[in-house]
Structure 1
């Protein structure tokens, strides 16, 4: 599958091909074998310590307890903990949080609704309570008709509408990147981040997790292996390697050239094996929140209402508009099927005209 297709329609300067398991040799950054274990720290706080205790009472070993707790991603555990803490406070002295009445659950969700909490957040609270009670007390409320009916009412009165009705034109950013020199490490890091996200239609999480050993680079091609647990990873389905061909028409928009320059300029600064490092001392690994996408978008003139995650919709929407096969887009972005793209990411592109469309087609040629 070709990223050339993915970004063919993004600007006409690059060519990227994905996925492929073959890798060029002769470079110090090599693609590792698959199967690297992603460590997950124990979460002993609040509700999850009670879940651990309930599992222990059932005769589950400590090792198995941790594996079961790791079935929830760290971000999910954090979200659940927020609402379970409120749930315990709501039930304190009045209700049993372990074996609650349906009326009590609905009262709590109604309490959140009265505080202005969104439909999606109330849905997280509901899931947290259902998962907690299912584990600790073997009480399953997940398919309760009354609770489901309540949630439908919440949606009808407070619908979860899409954040964007249309998406920005990637040419706006590519034009800016093409005309701006890599005069500072900050800008170079931002350019590398933006090019990767536009060429792959991936999340910032993917970029944040890339390590030096995941990279295989030559003069003509860049391969980035994805040996990490991503949000879209599922049993039996994992993101294939990203393969980008060099774009010789404009080195300022060639991700192979940009990452080579970035690695060279950071070689004597870095104290971490993560690809992206801080631009200030001690030059450690950066967090997802630090990745400089918003800075590039702002300097390029993208409206401030668009968040960094909008790069995913911007890249996939423009390529779909230009006729790139839907399967290519789905595989590159890591979606399991076309429904996710159609429901959340396929947007009309704002300020698009014939000239910009021709420029995007040229990129792939």
Structure 2
């Protein structure tokens, strides 16, 4: 994405490793808009003036974009271009002031005004009956739904679970994730701790054990979730999101409003409603202690503690 021959190949490779592929994909789309703007206005792409940057961001605002999109563009330009007038674009005082103006004139809004009751999905899972009698499709949908609810994690986290890193203990199950996740720091691991639950039809640990047993002879990958038909390889995040939407639909929840990611909203909101302390919710869902994301975007009218999961399951 950087200017051709701007850096040696080995340097460029390391620079690309500094962000997730999804981030570069977003930056690529953003930077294309910047280059088109520069072409139309006969401006230099790589050595712009601060006024050019400000006018471009202001145009995005005039075109109807909100704070989140414009802030993403700021991050993109800061990463790709770096400094203007001796200061980094992302922290340039005037750019920061402009973004504050964007936030005041068009404040970022949460995706959902409210969230669905997790009891709807839990009742659907319970009504499916005994795990041993479920086909691979229903069992897959049930497991991903229970994991999403009892951990509050993103689909990215669930898709990263590997069978060798699942450890069953007396009364619980611990899952260690070594993959780099959106919220993880370099070299860190994510640990999901799942408790046994008395209701066997809602116990995520028992559902996980049954799923592993049913897929043992057919799986072609170490990743936990596999396709429901040959060649039984690892499924993508998009597939897991689609499975979650199927569960929502079958639970009577409007999928034209709520996506698979809304499981994160529902579970964290339910835990908060049941009196789980904010620190436990943050720790469960992978937010840092001083994060404002939950209060702003998720609270609506891994895990090294079982408090979070039990609160959701107990309804």
User: What is the rounded CA distance, in whole Å, between the counterparts of 1:129 and 1:113 in structure 2?
Assistant: 16
1:132 aligns with 2:80: yes
1:162 maps to 110
2:21 maps to 74
1:301 maps to 252
- Aligned residue for 1:55, secondary structure, equals coil
* CA-based RMSD: 2.7
Change over 3 Å in CA distance of 1:364–1:299 after alignment to 2: closer
Matches within 5 A, 1:13-162: 47-48=1-2, 50=3, 53-56=5-8, 62-92=9-39, 94-134=42-82, 140-162=88-110
User: Is the contact made by 2:159 and 2:237 (CA closer than 8 Å) also made in structure 1?
Assistant: yes
Matches within 5 A, 1:253-264: 253-264=202-213
Q: Where has structure 1 moved over 6 Å in runs of 4 or more?
A: 135-138
User: What is the rounded CA distance, in whole Å, between the counterparts of 1:289 and 1:262 in structure 2?
Assistant: 20
Change over 3 Å in CA distance of 1:238–1:223 after alignment to 2: closer
Give the deviation of 1:208 after TM superposition. 0.4
User: What is the rounded CA distance, in whole Å, between the counterparts of 1:136 and 1:74 in structure 2?
Assistant: 26
Change over 3 Å in CA distance of 1:327–1:139 after alignment to 2: closer
Change over 3 Å in CA distance of 1:284–1:107 after alignment to 2: same
2:299 maps to 346
1:269 aligns with 2:218: yes
Find the partner of 1:279 among 228, 250, 266. 228
User: What is the rounded CA distance, in whole Å, between the counterparts of 2:149 and 2:184 in structure 1?
Assistant: 20
Q: Which runs of 5 or more structure 1 residues have no equivalent in the other structure?
A: 1-46, 57-61, 349-359
Give the deviation of 1:238 after TM superposition. 4.3
User: Is the contact made by 1:99 and 1:139 (CA closer than 8 Å) also made in structure 2?
Assistant: no
Give the deviation of 1:199 after TM superposition. 0.8
1:313 maps to 265
Change over 3 Å in CA distance of 1:335–1:236 after alignment to 2: farther
**RCO greater where, 1 or 2, for CA within 8 Å and sep 6 or more?**
1
Q: Single out whichever of 117-126 and 190-199 deviates more from structure 2.
A: 117-126
User: What is the rounded CA distance, in whole Å, between the counterparts of 2:99 and 2:121 in structure 1?
Assistant: 40
User: Is the contact made by 1:98 and 1:137 (CA closer than 8 Å) also made in structure 2?
Assistant: no
- Aligned residue for 1:193, secondary structure, equals helix
Length-normalised TM-score, structure 1 = 0.74
1:195 aligns with 2:143: no
Q: Deviations over 1:249-284 (max 9, x none)?
A: 321111121111111221222111110011122221
User: What is the rounded CA distance, in whole Å, between the counterparts of 2:145 and 2:55 in structure 1?
Assistant: 45
User: Is the contact made by 1:109 and 1:122 (CA closer than 8 Å) also made in structure 2?
Assistant: yes
Aligned residues: 299
1:322 aligns with 2:274: yes
